[in-house]
Chain A
Amino acid sequence: MAAYGNQPVKYWLHNNMVTINGQKMGKSLGNFITLDEIFSGNHPQLEKAYSPMIIRFFILQAHYRSTLDFSNDALQAAEKAFKRLIEAYHQIDKIPSSEASSINIHELRQACFDGMNDDFNSSIVLANLFEAVKMINLTLTGTETLTHDDIELLKLTFNDFLFQILGLADENPSDNSNLVNELMNLLLELRQEARDRKDWATSDRIRERLLKMGIEVKDSKDGPTWKIL
Chain B
Amino acid sequence: MVETDKRLQVFNTLTRQKEFFEPLNPPHVGMYVCGPTVYGDAHLGHARPAVTFDMIYRYLNFLGYKTRYVRNITDVGHLENDADEGEDKVERKARLEQLEPMEVAQYYSNRYHYNMDQLNVLRPSIEPLASGHIIEQQELVKKILSNGYAYEINGSVYFDVEKYSKNYPYGELSGRKLEEMIAFTRALEGKSEKRSPYDFALWKKAQPTHIMRWPSTWSEGFPGWHPECSAMGNKYRGKKSDILGEGMDLIFHITKQKLLKVWPLMAINPLNTGYTTTW
Chain A residues at the B interface, C-beta cutoff of 8 Å? 1, 3-4, 6-18, 24-28, 32-36, 38-39, 52-53, 55-56, 59-60, 64-65, 68, 70, 109-110, 113-114, 116-120, 122, 160, 164-169
Complex contact B248–A16 (CB within 8 A): yes
Does B122 contact A167, Cβ atoms closer than 8 Å?
A: yes
Please report which residues of chain B, range 168-199, place their CB below 8 angstroms from some CB of chain A when the two chains form the complex: 169, 172-173
5 shortest interchain CB distances as A-B pairs: A32-B43, A52-B118, A6-B266, A34-B41, A12-B13
Chain B residues in 8 Å Cβ range of A53: 120
**Chain A interface, DSSP helix/strand/loop, else mixed:** mixed
Give A25's nearest chain B residue, CB to CB. Answer: B45
> Contacting chain A: which of B127-135, B140-148, B239-247?
B239-247
Count A-B contacts at CB 8 Å.
189
Query: B99 on the interface (CB 8 Å rule)?
Result: no
* Among B5, B7, B270: residue with most chain A CB under 10 A: B5
Which residues of chain B have C-beta atoms less than 8 A from A56's C-beta? Answer: 47, 51, 119-120
**B225-251 vs A: 1/0 string, CB under 8 Å?**
000001001100001111111111111
B6 within 8 A of A: yes
Do B8 and A117 touch across chains, with their CB atoms under 8 A apart? Answer: yes
B55 near A12 with CB under 8 A, answer no
Interface contact B245-A165, CB-CB below 8 Å: no
Assuming the A-B contacts A68-B48, A166-B55, are A34 and B43 also in contact, with contact meaning beta carbons closer than 8 angstroms in the complex? yes
Quote the shortest CB–CB distance from A107 to chain B (angstroms). Answer: 12
B5, B14, B44, B121 pick with most chain A CB within 10 angstroms: B44
User: Dominant SS at the B interface?
Assistant: mixed
Contacts A10-B242, A52-B119, A117-B8 given; indicate if A15 touches B53 (C-beta within 8 A). yes
Cα separation A157 to B243 with both chains bound (whole Å)? 27
B66 at the binding interface (Cβ < 8 Å): no
User: When the two chains form their complex, are residues A160 and B120 in contact, meaning their CB atoms are under 8 A apart?
Assistant: no
Q: Report the nearest B residue to A118, measured CB to CB.
A: B9
A8 interface neighbour in B43, B45, B241, Cβ under 8 Å: B241
Question: Out of B120, B255, B270, which one reaches A12, CB within 8 Å?
Answer: B255
How many B residues are at the interface, by size bracket? 35 or more
Smallest distance from the beta carbon of B268 to chain A beta carbons, Å? 9
Q: Which residues of A contact B5 (CB under 8 A)?
A: 110
Q: Which residues of B contact A (CB under 8 A)?
A: 3-15, 18-19, 21, 23-24, 32, 40-49, 51-56, 58-59, 62, 81, 111, 115, 118-122, 169, 172-173, 230, 233-234, 239-251, 255, 259, 262-263, 266-267, 270
- Which residues of chain A are within 8 angstroms of B6 by Cβ–Cβ distance? 110, 113-114, 117
Known: A6-B267, A68-B48. A17 touches B249 (CB 8 A): yes
Interfacial chain A residues near B242, Cβ < 8 Å: 9-11
Could you tell me if A13 and B62 are in contact, using CB atoms closer than 8 angstroms?
no
**In the assembled complex, which residues on chain A have CB atoms less than 8 Å from the CB atom of B243?**
9-13
CA A38 – CA B262 in complex, angstroms?
39
Residues of B within 8 A of A36 (CB): 41, 111, 115
Contact B120 A33 (CB under 8 A): no
Bound form: Cα–Cα A18–B49 in Å? 10
Task: Kindly state the separation between the CA atoms of A119 and B243 in the bound complex, as whole angstroms.
Answer: 13
**A4–B245 CA distance with the chains assembled, in angstroms:** 19
The answer to whether A24 and B19 have CB atoms under 8 Å apart is no
B23 CB contacts on chain A under 8 angstroms: 10
Residue of B nearest to A15 (CB): B52
- Contacts A9-B243, A38-B44, A59-B51 aside, 5 further interface pairs with beta carbons under 8 A come to A8-B230, A8-B233, A15-B248, A64-B52, A119-B11
